[in-house]
Amino acid sequence: MNVIVLSTMYPNSVMYLSGVFVHEQVKALKRLQVNIKVIAPVPIVPFPLNKLSYKWKNYSNIPDKEIIDGIEVYHPRYIAIPGGILKGYWGFFLAKSSLKVINKFIETNQIDLIHAHGSLPDDHSAQIVSQKLNIPYVVTVHGSTIHSVIKKRYFYRSKQAILNANAVIGISNKVVRKIEETIGMSKNVFRVFNGYTLTDLKSKKNTEKLIILFGGNMVASKRCDFLLRAYSELFEEFKEIHLIVAGGGVLLNKMKRLASELYISDRVTFKGTVDHQTMLGSMAECDIFILPSIDEGFGIVYLEAMSFKKPVIGTEGEGICDIIEDGVNGLLVKPNNVDSIVEKLKLLIESSELRTELGIKGYDSIKKLTWEKNARETLNIYELISQKT
């Protein structure tokens, strides 16, 4: 089977952490003998954007084509205006640039299916390409992407793309419910949990401190500010704790300023943007993993921390609740609630036995959720579409 994966979230040699979960699925599908090529368009970067913006400068450094872990990844350029201006039209520009690459593939290979990851412009462009080439398409809806566009005036583009897809995949029960509620569809919707990366990394911890790890991008929905405020209520009582914040983004400097205002800067380490292996290494070394985010479709980082038998704290009502049962194989905090974060962290700080118990039970509950399982379920959907078309 020949498949085109279309995603602006796909990692690259310049901005690797972005969309690493898509890359892990692609690698697992390739191991199942699916012939996959990836189209990961990036914005055209005119002067002076390449001089004024670090993010846009990075875009300009991404090559037109690269091979990542044996996967061919193409980066055609498309028109995108900073600040999301005219974003409702980006799908047309993205489809036009992607078609140039896809048409070259068609000269030598039949394309059986297009798989788009993410909402606008990815799903909309997949719909356009599908209509022009008469090729079926699948859309995987990730929680963060659907939440980011659901209240935008251009959401109708995503809605139509999802409604017209041959299949729609939600990464958790929460995301599937969101699709059914906001799109108004229930047919051809499948739930496929993300997987986690198997690794043999061992802890290289060289401190007696009890390490609390936050792993996530510095955006408002991750609620790092709530964690910092909770930590400020604990660090005086528990001298042995140290917080590591791994993740970069637009709010990183703001979080550093908040730590300074709370007088906890000397007890918090901000690592900034880290690659996937570094994140996994931090998980191996931590004692507690926490991500009190909201609007989280699933959260692969939770699974990865649990794979190291670390006690994990997530948020009630989010996608990870498909996996974590509060007090059984992890802990859940109330959304947007500093006191709840304080309470759950205190439980784990005070009890090494509880940390060990939840870590073991957490691992037992996710050890079968591998990328291989994810890929087999995804391939079954591909084959189902192939039989219908």
Per residue in 306-332, pLDDT (tens digit) is 999 999 999 999 999 999 999 999 999
Question: Cα 270 vs. chain centroid, distance in angstroms?
Answer: 20
> What pLDDT, in 10s, does the model give residues 115-158?
999 888 999 999 999 999 999 999 999 876 565 556 677 788 98
Residues 107 and 236 grouped into a single domain: no
Residues 359 and 383 grouped into a single domain: no
Q: Does position 17 have pLDDT exceeding 60, yes or no? A: no
Helix (H, G, I), strand (E, B) or coil at 108: coil
Q: What is the pLDDT of residue 145?
A: 58
In a domain, 24, yes or no: yes
Domain that holds residue 307: 210-366
Residues 6+ apart with CB under 8 A from 67: 73
In the 8-state DSSP scheme, what is residue 82? G
**244 forms bridges with which residues in the sheet?**
213, 269
Q: Does position 225 have pLDDT exceeding 60, yes or no? A: yes
| Helical spans, DSSP H, in 12-89 | 20-31, 49-52, 54-61
Rounded (to 5) percent helix, strand, coil in the chain: 45, 20, 35
Alpha-carbon gap, residue 364 to 13, rounded angstroms: 34
Q: Which residue has the tokens 């974060």?
A: 341
Alpha-carbon gap, residue 140 to 82, rounded angstroms: 25
Question: Cα 288 vs. chain centroid, distance in angstroms?
Answer: 20
Domain count, the chain: 2
Residues 25 and 68 grouped into a single domain: yes
Q: Is the peptide bond before 136 cis (omega within 30 degrees of 0)?
A: no
Residues 177 and 281 grouped into a single domain: no
Q: What is the pLDDT of residue 237?
A: 95
CATH number, position 351 = 3.40.50.2000
